[in-house]
Amino acid sequence: MTPHQTLAVAVRLFAVVIALYAARELLSYLIAFGQVNDSIAPGLVVGVLLLFGAAAAVLWFFPKSVARGLLASSNDAPAAPSTPDAWLAVGSALIGLWLAASAFAILARNLSLLFLFWSDARIDRSDFLGGILYGAAELVAGLALMFGATRIRNFLVWARTAGLPKSPD
């Protein structure tokens, strides 16, 4: 694949991650703004969701245009072809890295808030504990995707060929 094709694949993966994060944050906004009596909150949520949706759509439908804008020349010689299984491993490792990075932010925020409000009896600490559990689960999933990418690829290859007769070697 050429560098432009590789970058176009990465741009599409980034669009998928943006869409996943937009869905996750939408739930968070709905829960947070559901407790606030403010007439501007629903408009803000819809506006932010439309912004993220538009960004994900542009990145999904025009990845080659983004790649051409980021890389200067397109007359590079194509590299050796990669198998789809190798791209699956690379993609899952990148998504795992992204999940693990965002989990660190979630864990840091919830742990610091739990530490700050530990002695305040008026604050319900179960929200912080729930955020810590969610961040830990996201961190575990991210690390599993990141370090288990080859195992995931091997499992999918095994699942595709399970029950088929083996070729004689």
- Decide: 91 and 13 in contact? Cβ < 8 Å: yes
Q: What's the number of domains the chain is made of?
A: 2
pLDDT single digits (tens) 18-72: 888 778 777 776 666 665 566 666 776 778 788 888 988 998 999 888 877 766 6
Please indicate, yes or no, whether residues 64 and 94 belong to a single structural domain of this protein.
Answer: no
Count of CB atoms situated within 10 Å of the CB of 116: 11
Domain assignment present for residue 77? The answer is no
> Is residue 168, in this structure, part of any structural domain at all?
no
Q: What is the pLDDT of residues 70-93, one digit of tens each?
A: 666 656 555 667 777 677 777 787
**Domain for residue 12, yes or no?**
yes
Gap between the Cα atoms of 138 and 149, Å rounded: 16
Closest CA to 107 of 137, 130, 136, 140: 136
Give a yes or no: residue 169 inside a domain.
no
- Domain final position from 72, 104, 128: 72
Q: Is residue 28 included in any domain, yes or no?
A: yes
Instruction: For residue 91, give its domain range.
Output: 83-161
Domain presence at residue 55: yes
Sequence-ordered alpha helix ranges (H) in the chain: 3-34, 41-61, 63-70, 84-116, 126-147, 149-161
Same domain for 118 and 59: no
Mean pLDDT of 97-107: 81
Distances (CA, A) of 15 to 35, 95, 111, 160: 31, 11, 30, 27
Using CA atoms, how far apart are residues 40 and 107, in angstroms rounded to an integer?
A: 29
Residues 57 and 99 occupy one common structural domain: no
Of 72, 100, 118, which marks where a domain is finished? Answer: 72
pLDDT at 141: 92
Domain check: are 92 and 155 in the same one? yes
**Whether the model pTM is above 0.85:** no
Q: What is the pLDDT of residue 84?
A: 75
